[in-house]
Structure 1
Amino acid sequence: MTIPGRNSEGPAAQSAGRSRLVLTAVATAAFVVAMDNTVLNVALPTLQSELGLSVSELEWVATSYILSFSTLLLVGGRLTDLHGRRPMFLLGLAVFVGSSAVAGSATSGDILIAARLVQGGGAALIMPATLAVLATDVDNRGRQLGAGVWTAAVALALALGPVTGGIVAQHWHWRWIFYLNVPVGLAALVVGLRALPTQPAPRATRPSLRSRGGRPKLDLSKLDLSKLDLPGLLTSGVALFAITYALLQGPEHGYTSFLSLTMLALAVAATVLFVLVERVVPDPMVEMSLFRHPVFSGGTVAQVLWGLGINGVFFFTSLFLQDVLGFSPTRAGMAFIPVAVLLVLTVPVAAKLSATAGAHWTVAGGLAVVAVGLVLVSRAGVGSDFLDLLPGLACIGAGSALTTPLTERMLAVTAGGRSGMASAVVSAAREVSGVFGIALTGAILLTRQESALAAGALPADAFVSGYALALQVAAGLVALGAAVSLVSLHPSAIARHLRRLPAPAETTCLRDYAGVDPSPDAELPGVAHRFL
C-alpha cells in the first residue's frame, strides 16, 4: 500500500543518495592519499631537528611513501579485480589510517620510515579501488561526475599539500600532518562501509564476508592469491621501484652516476621483461590489449605529459616563493589557493563542455590552457610579487579542471573485470610521471642555474633563469599532451578502432556506429556511450 506524502521517488531517490555517498567516500580517500605526496615537504626541517635525522634518513622519510605507493600500484589494481573493489578499498583505508597513527607517534627515523612505507602500501590498494568503483559501480552520468570529482580531488590535494603542511608545521606540530589522516580516513571508511556495493568484482575470486551484527566483515584468511601474476608482480615492482628510486635519488648522486644509471637500466630491463611476461601468462596483471584502444593508450600518454609539467610547478614554485621572493612557508602554500578554487569552479564547466563540444576538444583545450599558464608563471622574476603569478596559476587550475573528462573516458573503455587493472595503470602513470616531472624540472633548473652562476649571475637571478627554462620545457610537454588527446579522443580515431572489434553481442552496435557515422555530432546508440 502506498502512503500519500511519503517519498514518491522510491528506489531512484535511494540510488541517487547512495551514489552521492559513493562519490564522497571515493573523493575523500583519493584526496587524503594524494595529499601525502606533498604535505610533508615544508615540515621536513622541523622534523629533522626534533628527531635528529641525518640527511639520508630525511630523504627516506620524504620518499619512502612515494616509493612503496608507486611500486605496489599495479599489484593493488590486480587484487582489486581478483577480490573486489569494496574489500580492497576498506582494507587499504584501514592500513593507511593505522600507519598514519604510527607515523604521527614515531620517536625515531626508523619507525617513521617504516610507517611511511606501510602508508604507501595502503595507498596502493586505495587508489585503484576508487577508480574501479567509478568504472563499475555508478552509471554513465555518475561516472562523468565522479571522474571529475576524483581528478579535482587529486589535483586539489597536490595544490593544498604545501599550504596544509606549512600551517600545521608552523602553528601546531609536524605530528598532526599524520594524525589528521586518521579522522579523515575513518570518515571515508565509514561512508564506504555504508555505501559501496557488496557484489563481487567481475571474474573475481573474493574472500568470504563473515557476518557480524548483520554487517559483512572481510575475512582475510580466505584471500586467494593463486591467480595473482607473480612474475608480473615481481617485474613490475622492480621496474617501478627502480625508476622511482633513480629519479628521487638523482639530485643527490647525479643522474649520470653509476647508481642512477644502474637503476635506470634495471627499470628498462624489468619493463621489457614485464611486457614479455604479460603476453604469455594466463592471468596477466596488465592485459596489453588495453593499450590497443586509442582512448586508453592516448589517455595514458596525455596523463604522463600532464604530470611531467604540472608537478614541477608545484614543487619549484614553492621554492621560488620562499627562497627568491621571501615568502613564509604558510604564505607560500597560500599562494596555491587560486589553483584549488579554479579547479573546483571549473569542473562542472568541463562536464558541460565535454557533452557539447566533445571530450577531445575539452581535454586538449584544458591542456593547452595549462601550457599557457606554465609560460605565464615562467615570466616571473626576482622583483615579482604574487599578483604577477596569479594569471598563470589561474590558468593552471582552470586548465587542469578541463582535463577531468580524460579520466572518465579512460575508465569507460575498460570492461568490468579489468577496471582495477586499468585504474592501477592510470594511477601509476600519474604517480610516476609526477616524480619524473619534479626530477626533469629540477635537472633543467640546476643545469641552467650552474651555467648562469659560472657566467657571474647573482644566485637569485641564476635560480630564476633555470626556473623559467624548466617551466617553458614543461609547457612544451603539456602542449604535446594536448595534441595527443585531441587525436586519440577524436571520434574518428575511436570509430576506426571499433571497426576492428569482433561482432558478437555487445560490440555489434559499436561496429554499426563506427561504420555509419564517426562524426562527433552523431548521436551514439546504447553502449557506444561507454567508448565515447
Structure 2
Amino acid sequence: MSAETPRGRTVVLLICCLSVSVAALDVTVASVALPSIQRELNAPVSGLQWTIDAYGLVIACLLVFSGSLADRFGRRRVFQTGLAIFSAGSLLCGLAPSLTALVVFRACQGVGGSMLNPVAMAIVATTFPEPAARARAVGVWGAVGGLSMASGPVLGGLLVDSLGWRSIFWLNVPIGAVVIFLTGKFVPESKAVRGKRFDPLGQLLVCAFLGPATAAVIEGPRYGWDSPLIVGLFAVAAVSVVALVVVERRRAEPLVDVKFFRSPVFSGAVVVGVVALMAVGGFLFLNTLYLQDVRGCTPLQAGLLTIPMAAAVAVCSPVAGRIVAVRGPGPALVLAGLLLTAGTALLTATGPETSVGYLVAAYVVVGAGAGLVNTPITHAALSGLPRDQAGVAGAIASTSRATGGAIGVAVCGSIVAGSAAGFRPASHVAWTVLACCGGATVLFGLVSSGRTRRRLVDEAR
C-alpha cells in the first residue's frame, strides 16, 4: 500500500498516533503507580521524583538532537530505532530489581521516547504536504497525544490494581513491536535535503544545564540547600547555561540558535511552556500521592477519580485549536491560565474528608486548562519565528513543555519531602506554587493579545 494514496496516508497517520499514544501515556501512567513502587522498592519521595523525571528530563535534553538525527539519517530509520529503545527500556523497567535500576531504565525509555514525537511529526508533515490536509492530520495526532496523556492514570490504576505496577511498563512492549513492524511495511523513508551538522558540545551543555538543575531541586531537601553538593549542582547548571549561550552564538549550525530568543513572542512561548506544564506535571505528581496516601484510595479508584480531568482534556483540546484559529493564542492562554489557577487553588483546601464532588469539580477545571494550553503554546512559538524555522520552533516548544513537567514534579516533591509538618500542609504550599504558575500563564496570554503581538509577529516574519 502506497503512502501516496488516501488509505496509505491514513495508515501512516495511525502508526504515528500509536507511537505518540505510548510516549504520552508513559508521562502519566506511571504517576498512579508511585505509591506501589514506593512500598515495594522502599523508595523515598526523591526516588519517586526521579522515577518520573528520569523519563521526562532525558526527553527534554534530546528532543532537538533526535529531530536533527532523523533529518540526517532518515526519519523511518530513527523512528524504528526509537521504538526499539523505548520498548526495550519498558521491558527492563518491568523487571527492575531496585529503585536505582528503575530510574536508569526510565532514562533509557526517555532516549527512545525522544525519537518518537518529533520524528512522528516530521513523518506526518511529509506524508501530508497540502496545508489543509496537514492541519487536519496534526490535529488528529495532537488530540490522540492529549487524550492518551489524560487517560494514563485511569489505565495505570486498572493495571496496577489487577496485575501490579510492573505491568504498566510491559504494556508498551507488544505495542512497540507492532508499530515497528507497521512502520517498516507502510512508512516510506524520508530525510532532509541537507542534514544539520551535529553539535556535540551544545548537546553536552544542554544536558549539563537541565540535569544538575533538576537534581539540585530534587535532592535539596535531602542534603540541605546549603550543602556543597547542592550548591555545586546549581553552579554547574549556571555555568553551563552561560557557556551554552556563548558557544552556540559562535557556531554556524548550532543545536539551539540563541538568536531565536530575541523574538519576544517565541521567548514568551518557551517560558509559558515551562510554567504551564509545571502546573500540569506537579498536579499529576501531587494528586496521586494525595488520593492514595491521604484518602486511602486504591490505584484503580485513584485513576477513576481522574476520569473527569481526562474528559475535560479531550473536550477542550480541539476547542483550543478553534480559538487560536479565530482569535490567536492570547485568549486561549488567558483562559487556560485562569482555569489552571482556579483548579489548583481549589486543591489547596483538600483533606482526607474532602467530598468527591469537590474533587471532581477541581479536576474538571484543571483538565480544561490543560486541554487548552498546548495548542496556543505551539502556535505562539511557530508564529514568533520565520516560517522556514518551523521545525526547530516546534522542537524547542516541545522541549519547554517536557522541561516544565519535570520541574513541576521536582519542585512539588521537594516541597513535600522538605516539610516537617507532614504531607497535607506541605501539599497546600505546593498547590499554591502551581496556582502561581497558572497566573504566569495568564500574564503571557495578555501580552500575546492585541496589537503588540501582531507587531512582534510581523517583525519576526
- Is 1:37 the equivalent of 2:27? yes
Partner of residue 484, structure 1: 444
Partner of residue 78, structure 1: 68
CA contact (8 A) 1:228 1:285 kept: yes
* Aligned with residue 241 of structure 1, among 188, 211, 232: 211
- Is 1:431 the equivalent of 2:421? no
CA contact (8 A) 2:272 2:441 kept: yes
Distance 1:346 1:114, change over 3 A: closer
Q: Distance in 2 between matches of 1:142 and 1:490?
A: 29
CA contact (8 A) 1:96 1:118 kept: yes
Q: Distance in 2 between matches of 1:414 and 1:80?
A: 22
Partner of residue 260, structure 2: 290
Partner of residue 242, structure 2: 272
Partner of residue 306, structure 1: 276
Partner of residue 162, structure 1: 153
Q: Distance in 1 between matches of 2:75 and 2:278?
A: 29
Partner of residue 340, structure 2: 370
Distance 1:292 1:67, change over 3 A: closer
Distance 1:98 1:354, change over 3 A: same
Q: Map Cα deviations across residues 281-327 of structure 1 (whole Å, 9 max, x no partner).
A: 12111122333344422211111110121211111122222222222
Partner of residue 387, structure 1: 357
Q: Matches of residues 307-456 of structure 1 in structure 2 within 5 Å?
A: 307-409=277-379, 410-411=381-382, 418=389, 420-445=391-416, 450=420, 453=421
Q: Distance in 2 between matches of 1:491 and 1:146?
A: 31
Q: Distance in 1 between matches of 2:390 and 2:135?
A: 15
Amino acid at match of 1:238: A
Partner of residue 504, structure 1: none
Which one has more relative contact order, counting CA pairs under 8 Å at least 6 apart?
2
Distance 1:345 1:43, change over 3 A: closer
Aligned-residue offset at 1:432: 1.8
Superposition TM-score, scaled by structure 2 size: 0.86
Aligned-residue offset at 1:26: 3.1
- Is 1:178 the equivalent of 2:174? no
Amino acid at match of 2:15: A
Partner of residue 212, structure 1: none
The structure with more helix, counted as a fraction of residues? 2
Q: Distance in 1 between matches of 2:337 and 2:136?
A: 19
Aligned-residue offset at 1:357: 3.1
CA contact (8 A) 2:92 2:105 kept: yes
CA contact (8 A) 2:61 2:207 kept: yes
In structure 2, list runs of 5 or more residues that go unmatched. none
Partner of residue 120, structure 2: 130
Q: Distance in 1 between matches of 2:134 and 2:192?
A: 17
CA contact (8 A) 1:378 1:467 kept: yes
Aligned-residue offset at 1:270: 0.5
CA contact (8 A) 2:313 2:367 kept: yes
Aligned-residue offset at 1:354: 2.5
Q: Distance in 2 between matches of 1:492 and 1:137?
A: 36
**RMSD over aligned Cα atoms:** 3.3
Aligned-residue offset at 1:233: 1.6
Q: Distance in 1 between matches of 2:382 and 2:124?
A: 8
Aligned-residue offset at 1:279: 0.6
- Is 1:115 the equivalent of 2:105? yes
Aligned-residue offset at 1:21: 3.7
Aligned-residue offset at 1:182: 1.5
Partner of residue 15, structure 2: 25
Structure with greater Cα Rg: 1
CA contact (8 A) 2:82 2:112 kept: yes
Q: Map Cα deviations across residues 115-163 of structure 1 (whole Å, 9 max, x no partner).
A: 3332221112223323444566544445544555555444444443333
CA contact (8 A) 1:247 1:435 kept: no
Identity %: 31
Amino acid at match of 1:35: L
Aligned-residue offset at 1:265: 1.5
Q: Distance in 2 between matches of 1:318 and 1:244?
A: 21
* Aligned with residue 201 of structure 1, among 192, 196, 219: 192
Aligned-residue offset at 1:272: 1.0
Give the aligned length: 457
Distance 1:381 1:111, change over 3 A: closer
Q: Map Cα deviations across residues 448-476 of structure 1 (whole Å, 9 max, x no partner).
A: x54xx4xxxxx5xxx43333332233222
Partner of residue 99, structure 1: 89
Superposition TM-score, scaled by structure 1 size: 0.75
Amino acid at match of 1:185: G
CA contact (8 A) 2:263 2:460 kept: no
Q: Map Cα deviations across residues 408-460 of structure 1 (whole Å, 9 max, x no partner).
A: 4134666687555334322321122112112323444566x54xx4xxxxx5x
Q: Distance in 2 between matches of 1:400 and 1:62?
A: 19
